Structure 1
Amino acid sequence: MNLDVIFLVLLALVVLFAILLLAKTVRIIPQARAGIVERFGKYKETLPAGLNILVPFIDRVRYLIDLREQVVSFPPQPVITEDNLVVSIDTVIYFQVTDPVAATYEIANYIQAVEQLTMTTLRNIVGGMDLEQTLTSREDINSGLRGVLDEATGKWGIRVNRVEIKGIDPPPSIKDAMEKQMRADRDKRALILSAEGQRQSAILTAEGNKQSQILNAEGERESQILRAQAEREAQILRAQGEGQAIQTVFQAIHDGQPDQSLLAYQYLQMMPKIAEGDANKVWVIPSEITKALEGLGSSMHEITGIPKHSGGPRVRVDMGPTEAQLPKPSGDPELTSAQKAVEAAIAEAAAAANPGKRVPAPAEPPTDPASAEPTGDQPGA
């Protein structure tokens, strides 16, 4: 019984030792990892990803290095600018381990080393810039940090891919001053744009008024010219008409050869015109009018300077038709009857206007249209 227990204990120990030996011999490295193997405390080899066989109890995986690109965000750090202003800058570093052996044995803690190097380099770069340049030159700061860090970390087996500045925070007083400055700058630009707009508007308005006044002046000038031309032509036409009227009257008087009776009748016609008007209280009758009345009442006396009988033939001036000219009736019986009715109405109106004068009856319309045309002047009695 005791032998069986001892055998089982020994068997369990052997199995346990075999499992431990297998665990020390076989080592599985994950993808994108690298294992640093040491033998008796000395570097032996670097294990790649996958299944690896080690010498148990002699070889040992000391470090497991991550070969992927890593992102490290550093807390904000106070940095003094060239114009003695303290700003708070926080950065982000993107780096990757390219040499696991160097990253293990060349530097004790490469993440802390990168952080400190970033802070010192950032202070050197920002210290040569003023606040305005610091706020507007992020790309220059990133490039400068990346160059310095890549050069310094190359011997550590680390490659810095990117350096980004997350934020640059000036003091609250500086923020307030910057906001006031920006507000004042925007107000100034707004006032400048408003003034330029008003100036352009005034210029355009003045140009429009100028063009309007020029056009109005040109229109007024042309209008005055046209009115003057029209007035001149009207005066010329009136003068010509008056001249023709005077010439016609003068010619008619000379052609008619007026005698004593006609001039006496003209004197009688002028008497009512002399008496016209409210201001004519007293008026003088010319002596020629009395003599004309005497000559009109009796043909025994003669007025001085006026012949009793004019010599030579008398010519009656053709004054044109005295009756309304109606269109000649056509062959239509209805139109002929209408024409006759119109002529009869005209005759009746003339008879009513002159009761003592005989009005000839309307004549039959001539069959030949040429016979109805006037033949010219007719001699008087």
Structure 2
Amino acid sequence: MNLDDTGLSGPTIVLILLALLIVVAIFRGIRVVPQSEKFVVERFGRLRSVLSPGLNLIVPFLDRVAHRVSILERQLPTTRQDAITSDNVLVAVDISVFYRITEPEKTVYRIRDVDAAISTTVAGIVRSEIGRMELDQVQSNRSSLIGAVKAQLADQVDDWGIEVTRAEILDVNLDEATRSAMLQQLNAERARRAQVTEAEGRKRAVELQADAELYAAEQQAKARRIQADAEAYATGVVAEAIGRSGIEAAQYQVALKQVEALVALGKGEGQRTVVVPAAAIESFGEAFRMFAGGRRP
């Protein structure tokens, strides 16, 4: 088929081809980068640029996207690392590391296997840190161990364009012999604490009993003192009355006491015969005379 049959001249075909070339160049020069990735662009085998998420332009036919790198946070598979503490106890530590790539140009050109490199680095750091600590410190200060591992790992992987986001120690495992020895030690410590608690309880009971007895003695002493004060007051009243009225007041008080005694004796059950001495009758008479005489104006 001739060009004349198509109705297209030579210049027209050239323009069409040029337009197609421009369209292809535009499509090859436009790169849309997803939010979770970054593109590493090379020109003639050398690093040209790193394309961030969004719409980007490159030089068509010269530049090419050599690497598409995910910048999402990644988790290394949980690994078990053996280490020896400063008190010569073998422990197996389960550790997991989270990281993300922040500078893809460093990651793709400086390290081949990122996960393997980080795992090896973590193993060395864990051995070094646990070797400085005793077993009790490893189990009780797990947060400080995690902090040390994360800080040292961040320093060592910085040249690879990697940011360590988290490091987690999931478990600290011991061999059976060490576990049995620790269990015996724990049981002994619990027994000791129980004995101490029981002894403190007995001591407290004795202290409370002593306080109760002391309180009872103090109350009895107060009662006796009050009774003594009352008796002293009564004696003083009687003495004052004797001082004012003489021997008659004393005889009157004695007669009253005798009357009270006879009344109490007469209130007994059944019929009784009360024999009153003549001296008592004379005392009653004297008391009544004194009482009557005291009431006369």
- Report the TM range for the smaller structure's normalisation: 0.5 to 0.7
Measured after TM superposition, the shift of residue 22 of structure 1 is 8.0
Aligned to 2:70: 66
Measured after TM superposition, the shift of residue 207 of structure 1 is 1.7
- The equivalent position to 1:128 in structure 2, one of 119, 132, 140, is 132
Distance 1:195 1:23, change over 3 A: same
Aligned to 1:356: none
Aligned to 2:51: 47
Q: Does 1:76 align with 2:87?
A: no
- The equivalent position to 2:98 in structure 1, one of 81, 87, 94, is 94
TM-score normalised by length of structure 2: 0.64
Measured after TM superposition, the shift of residue 231 of structure 1 is 9.1
Structure 2: give runs of 5+ residues left out of the alignment: 3-16, 240-246, 256-287, 290-297
SS at match of 1:215: helix
Measured after TM superposition, the shift of residue 187 of structure 1 is 3.2
- The equivalent position to 1:240 in structure 2, one of 235, 251, 255, is 251
Measured after TM superposition, the shift of residue 96 of structure 1 is 2.6
| Aligned mates of 1:102, 1:183 — CA distance in 2 | 54
| Aligned mates of 1:221, 1:148 — CA distance in 2 | 80
CA contact (8 A) 2:79 2:96 kept: no
Distance 1:226 1:77, change over 3 A: same
Distance 1:144 1:237, change over 3 A: farther
Aligned to 1:249: none
Identity of aligned residues (%): 28
Aligned to 1:85: 89
Q: Tell which deviates more after alignment, 129-138 or 156-165.
A: 156-165
The answer to which structure has the higher strand fraction is: 2
SS at match of 1:61: strand
Distance 1:22 1:200, change over 3 A: same
Structure 1: give runs of 5+ residues left out of the alignment: 4-13, 245-318, 321-381
- The equivalent position to 2:152 in structure 1, one of 148, 151, 155, is 148
Aligned to 1:267: none
| Aligned mates of 1:201, 1:150 — CA distance in 2 | 59
Measured after TM superposition, the shift of residue 124 of structure 1 is 0.6
Distance 1:164 1:230, change over 3 A: same
Q: Which is bigger in relative contact order (C-alpha 8 A, separation at least 6)?
A: 2
RMSD after superposition = 3.9
Measured after TM superposition, the shift of residue 166 of structure 1 is 1.7
Aligned to 1:201: 205
SS at match of 1:76: strand
- The equivalent position to 1:30 in structure 2, one of 27, 30, 34, is 34
Aligned to 2:143: 139
Measured after TM superposition, the shift of residue 241 of structure 1 is 4.6
Measured after TM superposition, the shift of residue 55 of structure 1 is 5.5
| Aligned mates of 2:87, 2:253 — CA distance in 1 | 103
Measured after TM superposition, the shift of residue 209 of structure 1 is 0.6
TM-score normalised by length of structure 1: 0.51
The answer to which structure has the higher helix fraction is: 2
CA contact (8 A) 1:74 1:115 kept: no
Residue identity opposite 2:50 in structure 1: T
SS at match of 2:76: strand
SS at match of 1:120: helix
Aligned to 1:164: 168
Measured after TM superposition, the shift of residue 157 of structure 1 is 1.2
SS at match of 1:89: strand
Matched residue count: 235
| Aligned mates of 1:56, 1:76 — CA distance in 2 | 49
Residue identity opposite 1:191 in structure 2: Q
